[in-house]
Amino acid sequence: MSKKIETIKKILRIPLWKLPYPRILFTVDSSEPKYESEIAPLLEKFAAHQVPVTLFVSNETLSGQGNYSAIQEIFRFSERNRLPLEIASHGFRHYDLSNADPCAVIEKINESVSDFDRKGVDVRGFRAPFLSIEEKYRDILSAMRGNNGGVRYDSSTCFESSLLTSFFHILVRKKCPHKIGAMWELPISALDDYHILQKKGRGERFAYFYWVAEANIWIRRLNYCMLLFHPYIIGKNLVLLDKLLSYCRDRFPPECFMTCVQLVNELDALCIHTVLPGSDQQEARA
């Protein structure tokens, strides 16, 4: 019970802020990208609808094989199809970071980003495997001031495990981008494909209407919605993905769709003119 109370306190500390314009972000997490069988079919759907996508990818597989050949294939696809696409870090390897202290997490983030940079992959975002740092993300982002290795945002928080928690978040309306120190946190807006399709065992029809409802609710309330998918799950439900992308493209203007780093660029530009809730300036005044 005490852990749940602490989690709720963390959620309630997120400043309530509605973006000035609607922004929708589609993200994909892959620890071991299998380009031909899993990644390429997904990218074809995003390209067909011209919806930008951010892929969070690990540097190496758990067995120690590099993922860079798949990443290069991803970039080549993006260039051929003029698909706005971003590669971000999903950790050097797909390890649970929940038991690591903030300094150790920062070292692992910087190790991953430095390795990407050495390989010529410009990476400016991070998402923890299993979203395993969300309970301590504030401490980590605060400690990364001056030691961020080029990382500009984190997207490791969702604070959801069931449809009940989805309803709770709709009531408290706290899933908005917010700045901690020099870092942006971009929360995931809804349960992902793993929770809906695999863990909860819901069908494609339920998943479609759930994500459509979540997108409409969060855009109406915060002008912000981020969805998360996994190639090994949504890749088996490509008709569902195609239907969801088609709905979103019909429902929202093209300029609503962005990669994570594109949104961060926009948020940083806003900071020049506005003191945003949770920003450096506001923390300094507190």
Look at residue 10 and tell me if it is in a domain: no
Using one digit for the tens of pLDDT, what is the confidence trace for 12-32? 999 999 999 999 999 999 999
Look at residue 2 and tell me if it is in a domain: no
Q: What is the pTM of this model?
A: 0.94
Using one digit for the tens of pLDDT, what is the confidence trace for 247-276? 999 999 999 999 999 999 999 998 766 555
- Look at residues 195, 260, 205, 188 and name the one whose alpha carbon lies nearest to residue 233: 195
Please check the confidence at residue 121 and state whether its pLDDT lies above 80: yes
Q: What is the dihedral of CA 104, 227, 213, 3, to 10 degrees?
A: -10
pLDDT at 145: 85
Q: How many domains does the chain have?
A: 1
| Distance from the first to the final alpha carbon of the chain | 30
State the CATH number of the domain containing residue 225: 3.20.20.370
Element (H, E) at 153: strand 153-154
- Look at residues 52, 44, 8 and name the one whose alpha carbon lies nearest to residue 257: 52
DSSP per-residue string spanning 35-97? IIIIIHHHHHHHHHHT--EEEEE-SB-TTS-B-HHHHHHHHHHHHHHT--EEEEE--SS----
Cα–Cα distance between 154 and 137 in angstroms, integer?
9
Average pLDDT over residues 214-218: 98
Look at residue 8 and tell me if it is in a domain: no
Phi/psi region, residue 91 (left: phi>0; alpha: psi -120 to 50; beta: rest), is: left
Using one digit for the tens of pLDDT, what is the confidence trace for 159-199? 999 999 999 999 999 999 999 999 999 999 999 999 999 99
Report yes or no: 52 and 258 within 8 Å, Cβ to Cβ. Answer: yes
Cα–Cα distance between 197 and 199 in angstroms, integer?
6
Those residues with Cβ within 8 angstroms of residue 111's Cβ, 6 or more apart along the chain or in another chain: 92
SS3 4: helix
The partner residues of 276 in beta bridges, in order of sequence, read: none
Look at residue 5 and tell me if it is in a domain: no
Domain that holds residue 278: 22-285
Look at residue 89 and tell me if it is in a domain: yes
Look at residue 7 and tell me if it is in a domain: no
Q: Residue 278 — very low, low, confident or very high, per pLDDT cuts 50/70/90?
A: low
Those residues with Cβ within 8 angstroms of residue 153's Cβ, 6 or more apart along the chain or in another chain: 124, 125, 126, 183, 184, 185, 186, 260, 261, 264
Look at residue 134 and tell me if it is in a domain: yes
Look at residue 200 and tell me if it is in a domain: yes
Using one digit for the tens of pLDDT, what is the confidence trace for 52-73? 999 999 999 999 999 999 999 9
